[in-house]
Structure 1
Amino acid sequence: MKVINNKQCVRCINDKTVRRIRFNSEGLCSHCTCYDKYKSVLKDREHLKELFHKKISGDGDYAYDAAVGFSGGKDSTYVLYKLVKEYKLKVKAYTLDNGFMSREAKEKINRIVSELGVEHEYVVYDNTLLKEAYKRIVSKYLSPCIACSFLGYAAMINYASRVNARVGIHGRSTYQMFRGLSDSSTDIFRYLLDAGLCEDQPDLDKLYGKIIEQLDRHIDKKLANDIKNTLLADAKKNGYRDFLAYFLYHPYDHREIVSFLEKNTSWKAEKESEHFDCLIHHGALYLKDTVARRSHLMPEYSVMINEGIITKEEALLKMNEKVDPETAKRELKALCEYADINYNWMMLKAKIYSKRWW
């Protein structure tokens, strides 16, 4: 791809502050050109629905049709409802406790699984491993979300094997799945998306081998081995299972999901519908915004533009939304106390990183 000195993509709002971004001779960014490669497939809803049915069906002696990650948020609640009520699947739901789960999330989780009559389990990490992951990864990448993701993906991949479910299913939105994808991306969702769209059953050992390589590449060897040995033991013993993105096969509309849930369940957006489940979400976002010197959500807004959800002008307005600094400070200090990180050192490093990232 020919690189030119564009400040911002001609289609979306991604600019040169996005890591590893490239622009072609027409001024289109590498995220948009990557999205275009998937666009025709993503718009063929009839085919995607048939493919999803194929992925969740077939022979085999399984205890459950699906293991479903459930945070109590709107997306995972919607996915759980659809799988149980419309697809009539036997589901085992589980919730990963990242150490900062809100009371509201637990209340919603317990209430919804009771309403739907679904078996549910809280997956609690080893506390020493959890603290070590936060300390090492936040110290290196200045993002608690990366620590949570590494632990979470390992635990989710493992869980379906542990309970003998045919597949694992998650409810990440299209924006979240595609935010890191570009022609030069090593985002693990590239591997999962390609496998999810494949007509044939993917080679799961090869697929998860690539994902585990990312773990080895991005964190120190001891922590990587601790995560693999602790959180992937059942998958290694019993074999990997497909890990499907519900919203890869079904349309995603924020407003419709909230409206549907409020009409068909007791789920309500009492406080805020986005990430209410995490007690350090605002702090994490503030930290990432500090490093990026702009909203960390820029790539997600750009996916929304490609999806036709918002206009470029609306996305630029969203970029002006700020996290309350006092709320962020309080949450980040709670993280630092938990993981034994020096708060002042962390914020100084964030400011230094913001000047050397690009």
Structure 2
Amino acid sequence: MAKNQQRKIMKRCSKCILPESYPRITFDEEGVCNYCRGSIRSLLHRNEEDLQRILARFRHKGKYDCIVALSGGRDSTFVTYYAVEELGLNVLAVTCDNGFMPEQTKINVANTVERLGIDHIYLRYDHVKDRAKDFISSWVRKPSPAMIAFLCSGCMTGIREYLTKAAYDNNVSLILGGGGGVVGYGGEPEQSFAEKLLSISDSNSRVGRPLSLAAGFLLQLVKNPSYFQPACLVSFAGEFLHRFWHGYDKDLEVLGLFEFITWDEDKVVSTIQDKFTWKKPTYRKTSWRADCKIHFLKDYLYGGTLGFTKNDELLSGMIREGMITIKDALERLENDNYLSREFLTEFLPELGLELHDLDAALTEYRMSG
């Protein structure tokens, strides 16, 4: 990320590097944050034996044992490999292209499917691009870090719908993804920082959590009425309905592989590079979230408004899990948060925006704070 657009961080947790701008963070007299003080060691509550017992219910029920959501990113590629080669599942890979997939990601998908010899459904849905255009045009009028996550709202709803349809069309009752563990919410499984930014309370109850988020969301709409346009409202409504009231159909089992096996970054990357010649896009230096250009833009917006990105959160969780030292994490921060300005200059016009206009909005936001 360009240094002139990264908000400066003056203080970080002395144990896990979470920054002072992280939502609802506090530090004790030793400089240790409340997330470290309250974190539970190890996010892995189940193991592969538990996974095998669950999988036994779905094996040999039809042509396919499960669907794997293959985005072409790092973790989904590894999950596809692991499902086929390590778990011996008959896999139907499903790729949902929202129109923002990098070309290298498409190559990753093709290589994975071909070398594993599995069946593959490729779905393209172009409505996301128009919704993203409408959203970002509203966002730059009054930047708010709490609303950045909604750049993905139309896409995530579409992914759930298409995966569900693919499951029913092919008589499959199990969907396997890359969720769980430290790659879920950076070591905070109950609530991501994006939710913390939006919600008005820390409630995690079945009723309290969505109500808190809905209240926070309505406050954001009041602050920025330009969101009151059909495309944005449809995306927002769809995301809330699918996340809290509908989600996946109750007849489908949805599992995250890393709920059962330990996520090992080096093993994941080395495996997919060796098996599928997997590569990340050239305009990023981190291998994480390399499957969508919108992810890259969100990191730029988070960095410009808060001074950190989801990469900071991931590295923080890795420290708490004993996967990486604080020294190594700090050394990785600048590298992992890097994003080519040339990429942004080329990409933003697809959303009807120029980089200098976005930078001006971010600068104004920081000056107003």
Change (3 A) 1:143 1:351: farther
Alignment correspondent of 1:319: 333
**AA of the residue aligned to 1:169:** L
Change (3 A) 1:224 1:283: closer
Please say if residues 284 and 332 of structure 1, whose CA atoms lie closer than 8 Å, have aligned partners that are also in contact.
no
C-alpha RMSD of the superposition: 4.1
Separation in 1 of the partners of 2:160 and 2:193?
A: 19
Q: 1:245 aligns with which of 244, 250, 256?
A: 256
Separation in 2 of the partners of 1:125 and 1:215?
A: 27
**AA of the residue aligned to 1:307:** E
Please say if residues 91 and 118 of structure 2, whose CA atoms lie closer than 8 Å, have aligned partners that are also in contact.
yes
> How many Å apart are 1:217 and its aligned residue?
5.8
**AA of the residue aligned to 2:98:** N
Alignment correspondent of 1:178: 185
In the alignment, structure 1 residue 225 sits paired with structure 2 residue 234: yes
Count of aligned pairs between the two proteins: 325
> How many Å apart are 1:310 and its aligned residue?
1.5
Alignment correspondent of 1:132: 131
CA offsets, 1:34-80, max 9 Å, x none? 531xx3562x6xx4223323444437977743222212233222110
Q: 1:158 aligns with which of 156, 161, 171?
A: 161
**AA of the residue aligned to 2:81:** Y
Separation in 1 of the partners of 2:210 and 2:163?
A: 17
In the alignment, structure 1 residue 269 sits paired with structure 2 residue 276: no
Please say if residues 179 and 300 of structure 1, whose CA atoms lie closer than 8 Å, have aligned partners that are also in contact.
yes
Change (3 A) 1:283 1:238: closer
Please say if residues 173 and 252 of structure 2, whose CA atoms lie closer than 8 Å, have aligned partners that are also in contact.
yes
Separation in 1 of the partners of 2:145 and 2:355?
A: 11
Alignment correspondent of 1:203: none
Which ranges of structure 1 fall in alignment gaps of 5 or more residues? Answer: 1-5, 190-205
Q: Which has the higher contact order (CA 8 A, sep 6+)?
A: 2
> How many Å apart are 1:98 and its aligned residue?
3.0
More displaced, 63-72 or 103-112? 63-72
Separation in 2 of the partners of 1:336 and 1:92?
A: 34
**AA of the residue aligned to 1:319:** L
Separation in 2 of the partners of 1:236 and 1:311?
A: 37
What secondary structure, in the 3-state scheme, does the structure 2 residue paired with 1:297 have? Answer: helix
Alignment correspondent of 1:304: 318
Output the TM-score relative to the length of structure 1: 0.72
Separation in 2 of the partners of 1:29 and 1:341?
A: 38
Alignment correspondent of 2:79: 79
> How many Å apart are 1:313 and its aligned residue?
1.6
Separation in 2 of the partners of 1:74 and 1:267?
A: 12
> How many Å apart are 1:94 and its aligned residue?
1.8
Q: 2:176 aligns with which of 169, 174, 187?
A: 169
Change (3 A) 1:118 1:338: same
Percent identity of the aligned residues?
23
Alignment correspondent of 2:4: none
CA offsets, 1:237-274, max 9 Å, x none? 965633322112111112222333344x2324375644
Please say if residues 134 and 339 of structure 1, whose CA atoms lie closer than 8 Å, have aligned partners that are also in contact.
yes
Please say if residues 144 and 305 of structure 2, whose CA atoms lie closer than 8 Å, have aligned partners that are also in contact.
no
Change (3 A) 1:290 1:253: same
> How many Å apart are 1:209 and its aligned residue?
11
Separation in 2 of the partners of 1:237 and 1:257?
A: 27
Separation in 1 of the partners of 2:251 and 2:211?
A: 12
CA offsets, 1:100-131, max 9 Å, x none? 2222221221121122122222222233x432
More displaced, 342-351 or 247-256? 342-351
Separation in 1 of the partners of 2:92 and 2:308?
A: 39
